[in-house]
Chain A
Amino acid sequence: MKVLVAVKRVVDANVKIRVKADNSDVELNNVKMAINPFCEIAIEEAVRLKESGVAEEVIAVSIGDTACQEQLRTALALGADRAIQIDTAQTLEPLAIAKLLNAVVEKEQPGLVILGKQSIDGDNNQTGQMLAALAGMPQGTFASQIKVEGDEARVTREVDGGLQQVAIKLPAIVTTDLRLNEPRFASLPNIMKAKRKPLEVITTDALGINTAHRLSTLKMTAPAEREPGVMVANVAELVEKLKTDAGVL
């Protein structure tokens, strides 16, 4: 079975992003970029499926300009066998991304596609579910455990009140939650080896997908800042202030 993993290049999780002065967008110049944390978990899971003999090949795919090859090389260093970059300079919406990924799914015919549940820039939490719809596949979203048994995957999902277990027929889409696994670090020899692994570049035009925007961002604003607070010396003072000043107790 082939496993396809989608990876996204995003602003590093530790960067506090700022809105541009003209409110047109956020400031992304000279900001540290990294692989989306949930995508890293997706790669790790795919590689573990290969190590346990469930998967034969792990293919990493990313959509973006040449810069996203850096994240694809990271995926290769973590254990993916080959990579595909869908080359575009545009910032695409989840629906367009799902359509492009679906074109790759049709071509590669993976038994399982693993994606992060959301990217930490757009915070949309849509792409996996949309891809599942377009590919006509079932979905196991927000997974904290995946077990492949015969022609189905048993997925434990993180839901609001606890955990839910579902069985989904393969081929299927899974999106990762935080507790699925703890991603490994790429070793230096593997980073060197990754440079020689195959990386194919496909243009969006070659896939014949309409990626036109459905949404337009009218403006980007910074959230209201909180008023500076006060420090209290002890518990008694804290409780007193919560009762009288704040009136919340």
Chain B
Amino acid sequence: MSILVIAEHDNNTLKAATLNTVQAAVALKNAGAGEITLLVAGENCGGAAEQAAAVAGVSAVVVADNAALAHQLPENMAPLLVNLCQTSGYSHLLAAATTTGKNLLPRAAALLDVAQISDITEVVSSDTFVRPVYAGNALATVQSSDTVKAITVRGTAFTAVEASGGNAPVTQHDGAAESGLSRFISEEMSVSERPELTAARIIVSGGRGMQSGDNFPMLEKVADKIGAAVGASRAAVDAGFVPNDMQVGQTGKIVAPELYIAVGISGAIQHLAGMKDSNVIVAINKDEEAPIFRVADYGLVADLFDVLPELEQAL
């Protein structure tokens, strides 16, 4: 048995989610699933490959550097993964449960004719995993009978491995090709000085109670005082207050920071699914019946428009 982890990167740098995924691979390795290889597929991705080689716990790095992989489109990436599995006999194929991993891995799994185990939160053994279902209201322990286990990993469930200390040998792999099926056009990425939601130690999130996107700067001021990321509930995104990449929840981002401050969020099942594993939860809402108070460690029933300026002062 051996493990292939698909590195998440932008050709220059490795993304943090990769380090959490490698931790899941380390758990598999400890369960007897063999050595860990990290795949860096991209174009002019030497920078990312160099960082990949330094990741603790990784035995080998495979680099696929090809113009067809510049934007890692799944139509070109999936056949590459199939090729690697067939030539090198990997028994485990791991990716982060990010939009990149979720887009790619099922396509590769279907080509390999194996099931995918999505969003695992625990490695029980080399073929058995725990994953949340029904918005995290149940945890399923599932065992795979497939020869290749295709797995996406929930980052918040595995602590990041060290980004340095390793010295894995790097080999090149040819064999990527342009499918001609799809084309990258453009990307509009949110630019923010604040930490990324999935990596932040503190998150301040706003819901429908914020009433308007114009009021989000009140949250941002509080966030900036304590180095926090800013999130939102689906209701706030649906209402057009803020962009979708700020959404925390079942179908948005799954977060588990040290401190989560929910402001004007009622606490729908779908939102709780995305944040209830946070270490400390604070709920601020003027409706004392709001379900968010049932998961909160500290609750404050008050008008957020009074509370936020006070909080900014007090921090």
Measuring CB to CB, which residues of chain A are less than 8 angstroms from any residue of chain B? 11, 13-14, 16-19, 26, 38, 93-95, 98, 117-118, 120-134, 137-139, 141-142, 144, 154, 157-169, 177-179, 214-223, 226-227, 229-236, 238-239, 241-242, 246, 248-249
Contact = CB atoms under 8 A, between A and B. Distances in A.
Contact of B106 (A122, A130, A214, A221): A130
Nearest to A158: B244
A120 B244 contact: no
Contact of A126 (B109, B111, B134): B109
B311 interface: yes
Q: Is the interface of B mostly helix, strand, loop or mixed?
A: mixed
Given A17-B138, A19-B137, 7 more contacts: A17-B137, A94-B106, A134-B110, A169-B182, A178-B238, A215-B142, A242-B280
A114 B117 CA distance: 23
B76 to A, nearest CB: 10
A135 to B, nearest CB: 10
Nearest to B128: A218
Nearest to A218: B141
B281 interface: yes
Given A95-B114, A161-B189, A239-B311, A223 B139 contact: yes
A124 B116 contact: yes
Interface of B: 73-75, 78, 98-100, 102-111, 113-119, 128, 132-146, 179-190, 198, 202, 226, 234, 237-238, 243-245, 250-251, 253, 258-259, 269-270, 276, 279-282, 293, 295-302, 307, 310-311, 314-315
A219 to B, nearest CB: 5
B185 A166 contact: yes
Contact of A125 (B78, B118, B139, B259): B118
A124 B118 contact: yes
B254 to A, nearest CB: 10
Contacts of B279: 248
Contact of B269 (A13, A133, A221): A13
B142 A133 contact: no
A119 to B, nearest CB: 10
A231 B243 contact: no
A211 B113 CA distance: 12
B100 A159 contact: yes
A239 B145 contact: no
A177 B118 CA distance: 18
A241 to B, nearest CB: 6
A217 B130 CA distance: 10
A246 B251 contact: no
